[in-house]
Amino acid sequence: MTTLRFARHAALLTLLAVGCKDEPAPTVTQPADSAKQDAGIESPAIGGKMKDVAKTLEGKGLSAEELAKQPPPDGIFPAGVADKAHAVGAPPKLEMIKDGDEPRIMLHAAAPEPQVVGLKLQIGQKGRQVQRLVFVEIAPPDQAGKAMHKLVGDLEKQIHQASEASGASSAAPKSAPPPAAGSASPSASAAVEAPPAPPVGADRPLVATVLDFSPSGEMGKNLDASINFTATKAGAASFVRKYKKETTDPAEVVARDLQLGAVEELLLGLFSGMPDKPVGANAMWTIADRRTSLGTDVVRYRLFQVESVEGDTAHLQVMFRQYAATDTNALVQDPEIVMRGYAFEGLGKIDVSPKALFPKSGMVQVGMNSQLVPKDKKEDPQVQGQPFAIEAAMQIFDAQEIKLTPSDEQPPPKKEGGKKEGAKKQPAPAPAPQP
């Protein structure tokens, strides 16, 4: 169980983030030499590190000279080549490398049920580090937002009880916030018959409801958004972002898109696909897809490797590499500014169960590096570019296991009678943010 300490007069972000267990950054273990000796594998990754992605372009009309330049040394595909590596709109592609050792388990064997995870999110850009505590619910469209609504109500009750236990006045509202837009209340939903679950391995439309419990800050307040997507056998695809409240402030649009993009990048990027056979320790597979990553149209390659299997849980490592399809980025709002070079790497460790589509615990880190230059000066080596880098890290924990407890810090005893020398007025409790 994840125990989160409750401190008097603390904002909700502090309430939640302070109790998250800090873990070391994930590392990737080199697999056995036998994996490196497997023949006939046309994959962008093997042996614990990414291979030449030119194999994904063979037989697709490229000349020998063009193939020799793949993967692109500067990280940006020449015009049209990314479409041959993985076309826009094409479904993700899963390639199995090894089944692994016994015992083996079948991942994602169950039909999807609403799942809520907590994300301790950190985003770095231009030397600034912003931390957020975000909750994400993954659910079929007919159930979107309902589990999140219940979690919010439960947390507010815990905050109210913890406030009373510590002698502070309640910081939570007296009633839970309304359900997410477009969803019915839990009581009303009980009478609605759920549609039959799709067969295992079938494409599954899902909705990620994203709620930011952080206080006001550079990244905005109370991000309330959703990501509609499809979980295919080979990975998540067809992302469509929606916001509950629209804004025309350019700075807020960029900040909000960056935050939601990081959630999409990290959480949905960890969907490990559905190998059509049981897997065990040392199993390996890759997933290739085409998507927008932190503002850039990219072809992405991920390598998944099973470290061990314990009961119905597989402990996985994931390794990210991706290449830009163009030299533009949506977060850069000047059309005359382009990227010179692009590099993206990521590492993660996750725990996957047959009972859930997405990991309930784990960590992942990704980093993107580039330089921004005027479009007409891109090929001029004398023109120095402006550094353009984004880093994101995320710790995942099962939100259903959250329990708030009073902080060890006790309020000072009250003095009885007489004038209180040097006494300072305590600040009013910070109100709990509203979704």
As given in the structure block, the two tokens for residue 257 are 């898109």
Amino acid letter, 315: H
Taking a C-beta distance cutoff of 8 angstroms, is the pair 121, 132 a contact?
A: yes
> Per residue in 282-295, pLDDT tens?
999 999 999 999 89
Q: What is the pLDDT of residue 404?
A: 55
Q: Following DSSP, what letter does each residue of 232-281 receive, concatenated? A: ETTEEEEEEEEESS----HHHHHHHHHHHHHHHHHHGGG-----SS-B-T
- Could you say which residues of the chain have pLDDT below 50? 1-43, 46-49, 169-192, 215-220, 407-411, 415, 418-435
> Has this prediction a pTM greater than 0.95?
no
Closest by Cα among 164, 167, 213, 210 to 16: 213
Closest by Cα among 90, 138, 92, 136 to 111: 138
Closest by Cα among 390, 328, 333, 396 to 361: 396
Instruction: Reduce the DSSP state of residue 153 to 3 states and report it.
Output: helix
> Per residue in 47-103, pLDDT tens?
444 556 666 787 788 888 888 888 888 999 998 899 999 999 898 999 898 999 999
Q: What is the pLDDT of residue 407?
A: 46
Cα 430 → chain centroid: 28
Q: What is the pLDDT of residue 423?
A: 46
- Rounded distance, CA 351 to CA 8, Å? 34
> Which H or E element spans position 301?
strand 296-310
As given in the structure block, the two tokens for residue 289 are 């897809």
Q: What is the pLDDT of residue 228?
A: 92
Q: What is the pLDDT of residue 265?
A: 85
